[in-house]
Structure 1
Amino acid sequence: MVTPRDLRKPPARERLHATVAEELEEQILTGELSVGDRLPSESAIAQSFGVSTRSVREAIQVLETKGLVRRRHGERTVVVRNDVSHFLGTLAINLHQLFASDPAYLRQLMDVRRMIEVEVAESLARREVPIGPEFSQALAELRAAADSGDHELFAERDAGFHAALVASAGNAVLTELYRHLFDLIISVIRVSSRVPTKSLERAYEEHARIHDRIASRDPAAAAQAVREHIDNSASYLEIALRQAQEKDD
């Protein structure tokens, strides 16, 4: 059944389609909506979620891009599901549940990110071809977010930078994995950003250093920049988790 599960507060207007897409995606990945099932009409979904049909169309477009549904003119949208996307999406849902039961597992996510991103940065710096414009654009968006002083926006752009870094490697499985882990990575950034001593400017500079060392074709320096950045983030995460524990006690 296509229904919103737990909207504790109305989502921001620009997030409406994303909220609908996330809800529908979860229902597909958990099997509540099976391959071959047809979604209700756009108007029915819009009424169910209390959003406009435009938001529903945008949400379905997101799902189509992910390989989860197929649209044909004059027919209702059908669930098709890409197998790789399904596997990684299910993995991401299981990880969400794991971290919800014990936030301390976020430390292990940082370890995974360190292993992946250090290798990716080093590999990119060895290549003779220029890094893609998406990676540089992600850094520019991070700069704008830092200038705005909006911590929530910065967290999203921060995660976007790391997703763009991994996508630049051209490995479809890694790219898909990071796309599914996007919300978890944002959660880590949000938690660590609660530490008062962490500034947006310093965080931006760490990302700029990663970008510039990859662009300058220095593999060792690029790997070190990523390692230092994630180590710093892990330290802030430890402080934030400790503060949360002390508050609970």
Structure 2
Amino acid sequence: MFQEVKKPIRLYEKVADQIENAITRRELKVNERLPSEDELSKAFDVSKRTLREAIRVVEQKGLVELTLNGTYVKEPSTDKLAQNLALLLKRGQVEWRHIYQYRSNLDATIAGLAAENATDKDIAALESMVAEGNYLLEKEPFDWQRYVEADIRIHLKLARMTGNPIYEWILGTFLENMNEYFDAYLDKENNFSRKNWQNMNRLVQAIKDRQPQEAARQAVIHLELGSEYFGGIVEATP
């Protein structure tokens, strides 16, 4: 009897769709400046107000950046995803136990794939990163922030080694949001960091030996070691 009432497409949405399509088809390349407001409004045959609304839509999607010198195409990023996750955390809709559960599976998969796909160049890079962590642990005074940054870099390197950019994007989103909580909850004493980094050495060794299952196991242990210090928010599984 009844038919679905389709929402009419507003003019600025049509303009936004065309700009988005030009970017996704790479007709407009990353860091390229969009034509001026006058040029675009004439090209689309729309008012400047309509054009500005369209640009605002594209900007909200993270595809362009507005500057004093014009509008530029942005490198694709997970900024919006990270912002949404941060809001969910602050509102209590996502708890740390949820993140821990998801990260356990994610990190294990990443480590296993990294072990399967590792090249000699990858392994050399990992060994260099591990050596950096070892150096930081011996240096006095202990630089906690640099240690955390080294830990994040090696995790992102492992994600890149999977050959699947989605793993890097997702893991990067989690790490971006968790970094501010590391400072609040994790034990900053050198003895914790030593235990944590000893495990990282074992993880890298498993990857070097091309042992996916062992690499996955060590990745979960690494996450458990950190979770023990999250102020009781997450309990590690033995």
TM-score normalised by structure 1 residue count: 0.59
Which residue matches 1:245?
none
**Separation of aligned partners in 2, 1:165 and 1:184:** 19
User: Quick check: 2:203–2:219 contact (8 Å CA) kept in 1?
Assistant: yes
Which residue matches 1:139?
130
Which residue matches 1:229?
222
Which residue matches 2:53?
none
Return closer, same or farther for 1:102/1:37 CA change in 2, 3 Å cut-off: closer
**Separation of aligned partners in 2, 1:207 and 1:183:** 20
Matched, 1:129 2:152: no
Return closer, same or farther for 1:34/1:195 CA change in 2, 3 Å cut-off: closer
Which residue matches 1:120?
110
Which residue matches 2:167?
174
1:219 deviates by 1.9
1:238 deviates by 4.6
Q: Percent identity?
A: 16
Whose helix proportion is higher, 1 or 2?
1
Matched, 1:213 2:206: yes
What is the CA deviation profile of residues 38-63 of structure 1, one whole-angstrom value per residue up to 9, with x for unaligned ones?
412xxxxxxxxxxxxxxxxxxxxxxx
Amino acid of the structure 2 residue aligned with 1:89: D
What is the CA deviation profile of residues 92-132 of structure 1, one whole-angstrom value per residue up to 9, with x for unaligned ones?
10111222233972232222221111012112223473361
**Separation of aligned partners in 2, 1:78 and 1:195:** 43
Amino acid of the structure 2 residue aligned with 1:107: R
1:205 deviates by 0.5
Structure 1: runs of 5 or more not aligned: 1-27, 41-75, 243-249
TM-score normalised by structure 2 residue count: 0.61
Q: How is 1:33-182 mapped onto 2 (pairs within 5 angstroms)?
A: 38-40=66-68, 76=69, 78-82=71-75, 84-85=76-77, 88-102=78-92, 105-127=95-117, 129-130=119-120, 132=122, 133-148=124-139, 149-182=142-175
1:142 deviates by 2.1
Greater relative contact order, per chain length (Cα 8 Å cut-off, separation 6+):
2
User: Quick check: 1:107–1:234 contact (8 Å CA) kept in 2?
Assistant: no
RMSD: 3.2
**Separation of aligned partners in 1, 2:129 and 2:205:** 13
**Separation of aligned partners in 2, 1:171 and 1:222:** 18
User: Quick check: 2:110–2:167 contact (8 Å CA) kept in 1?
Assistant: no
Structure 2: runs of 5 or more not aligned: 1-55
Amino acid of the structure 2 residue aligned with 1:145: L
What is the CA deviation profile of residues 126-180 of structure 1, one whole-angstrom value per residue up to 9, with x for unaligned ones?
3473361443333233223323311122122212221111111121222233334
**Separation of aligned partners in 2, 1:199 and 1:123:** 27
User: Quick check: 2:115–2:211 contact (8 Å CA) kept in 1?
Assistant: yes
Bigger Rg, structure 1 or 2: 2
User: Quick check: 1:124–1:131 contact (8 Å CA) kept in 2?
Assistant: no
1:194 deviates by 3.0
What is the CA deviation profile of residues 8-61 of structure 1, one whole-angstrom value per residue up to 9, with x for unaligned ones?
xxxxxxxxxxxxxxxxxxxx9994697566412xxxxxxxxxxxxxxxxxxxxx
Runs of 4+ in 1 over 6 A off after TM superposition: none
User: Quick check: 1:138–1:164 contact (8 Å CA) kept in 2?
Assistant: no
Amino acid of the structure 2 residue aligned with 1:226: A
What is the CA deviation profile of residues 65-88 of structure 1, one whole-angstrom value per residue up to 9, with x for unaligned ones?
xxxxxxxxxxx3633134x52xx3
Q: How many residue pairs are counted as aligned between the two chains?
A: 176
